[in-house]
Structure 1
Amino acid sequence: MTDIELVQAAIRAREKAYCPYSNFAVGAALLCADGTVYGGCNIENAAYSPGNCAERTAIFRAVFDGQRDFTSIAIVGGPAGQPVSELCAPCGVCRQVMMEFCDPATFRILMGTGGDTFEERTLQQMLPFGFGPANLGK
């Protein structure tokens, strides 16, 4: 799968967002080493904290299916009902979840700004001095 195809998969996932409180729809597409792609969207809750981000939705779906080897994730977001036009970076909690499962030096984060444009960073660039399993001797 090309990077552009992964960004477009995130745009499709964004259409499923449940965001009645923030009206900010986010979609994510997680690429596994075997080529499998898992989509995720943000899912809000009236109590706020029980909500879940698109990135974690995609990762948790993949982990449930037994996947543990991830290469990249595409993320898009913006006001619901409007085209994606600006970067949407993963929140700190999502970066920490990525740190649990991904090699920070090689895991790629593609932040889409439209159907065929994106900016790329590694997890290490997005979460310098991250804390992960290696810090616990795992």
Structure 2
Amino acid sequence: MKKHKAYAVLMALELASIEIKYGISSNTNPFQQLSPTTLLFVVAIFCHALAAIADTRFATTLITFHVSGVVGCETLLWVFLDEFLRYYIINALLLLVALFCFFNYLRCDTPSDVDQVSNMESLETQMSHS
């Protein structure tokens, strides 16, 4: 399976789970009425489909593809899971976004093992010379 099909498969599984949970023609089907969550899902899936057929050599296209895929899957999880679990999903997504945004910052500020080994070697040579 190609990488770009992973979001589509995940969304299809989530939609099937929602259909099993709520039923197609029942009054409790979350897609019967337009809600902000449903609108967000429709916009995300539309952006995801456009980014999937666009030229992927550009960084903006890849970012749009992945962000819209994650947002589409996220909104389906909001529909599928109970209200209480939404807060955990939102916080996990925000934590993941923060990790991606600050990964380079954390990597640059924390010393690597090579730096620690070189510092230890220089300390040992200083100790042996004195």
Same fold per superposition (TM over 0.5): no
Larger RCO, structure (CA 8 Å, separation 6 or more): 2
Q: Determine which structure has the larger strand proportion and give its number.
A: 1
**Shorter-chain TM-score: what band?**
under 0.3
TM-score normalized by structure 1?
0.26
Q: Determine which structure has the larger helix proportion and give its number.
A: 2
